[in-house]
Structure 1
């Protein structure tokens, strides 16, 4: 139980640090690439739902209803990058490792079964030899020879 709690704590710490790395990649690499086609910050992409949107000097919307789809796009890109890295660097290698380990365990059990079967066969042969020896002139216990 303690080992599982420690594993979980390590996963949370690594996940938090990894989130910062992915966020930096999105802001430092993805946003400039997208910026080549428009604004450099995805968060500035928006549309106005009602009439033209008016923004004051402080950046607050005075009139209209803005839809901030750039923020959603940035979050989706961050999620996709995080999911891809977690899948390809953690899930896929672990699945391959577990499959290889299961194959090794199955081979080990198969060898164990063969050994057990061969031991059983040897014991049966010994029994059959003893029975045959008794039946062909061997002395039986409790009987005397004339």
Structure 2
């Protein structure tokens, strides 16, 4: 039981995924701080708000607010995280991995159809050679076999 669990944990994908989750969580904190320190003051200049959370607030009749700024802030955080992960991790890893050799191109549909036709022709010839000769159409069996 423990052997199977150990094999599961030591698979490359599981370890890679665990590392990615830990790095992603730590990196998300960094991105949130950058947004709070850099983007929020810039937004404050244009939207007259302290942060995304307070920007683009739409008041509702019951006194609540729809905070579109929270959604915009979350999207910007996601895009920053995705861009950094792509440019810092994915691109370098793709360059370091050896390129897989391209698989040889298989036959196209015309070649496959020609091969099937040839195989069917060979099978038909083999059957006709193995089958007894049938009498000619319009003749009766035994006709032309008796002597005069």
Report TM bin, short chain.
0.5 to 0.7
CA positional deviation for 1:96: 2.5
Flag the structure with more relative contact order, 1 or 2, with Cα contacts below 8 A and sequence separation at least 6: 1
User: In the alignment, which residue of structure 2 is the partner of 1:56?
Assistant: none
- Matching of residue 40 in structure 1 with residue 37 in structure 2: no
What is the aligned-residue RMSD (CA, Å)? 2.0
- 4+ residue stretches of structure 1 with deviation over 3 A? none
For residue 75 of structure 1, what is the aligned residue in structure 2? 74
Which residue of 2 is the match for residue 22 of structure 1? 31
**Could you tell me the TM-score, scaled by structure 1's length?**
0.55
Deviation for aligned residue 1:80: 0.8
Shift of 1:9: 2.1
User: What 5-or-longer segments of structure 2 have no aligned partner?
Assistant: 1-7, 103-148
Listed one character per residue, the Cα deviations across residues 73-123 of structure 1 (whole Å, up to 9, x for unaligned) are 11111011011111111112222233xx227x78xxxxxxxxxxxxxxxxx
Structure 1 or 2: larger helix share?
Answer: 1
Aligned counterparts, 1:66-145, within 5 A:
66-98=65-97, 101-102=98-99
Counterparts of 1:6 and 1:84 in 2: how far apart (Å)? 23
Q: TM-score with structure 2 length normalisation?
A: 0.54
Tell me the equivalent position of 1:11. Answer: 20
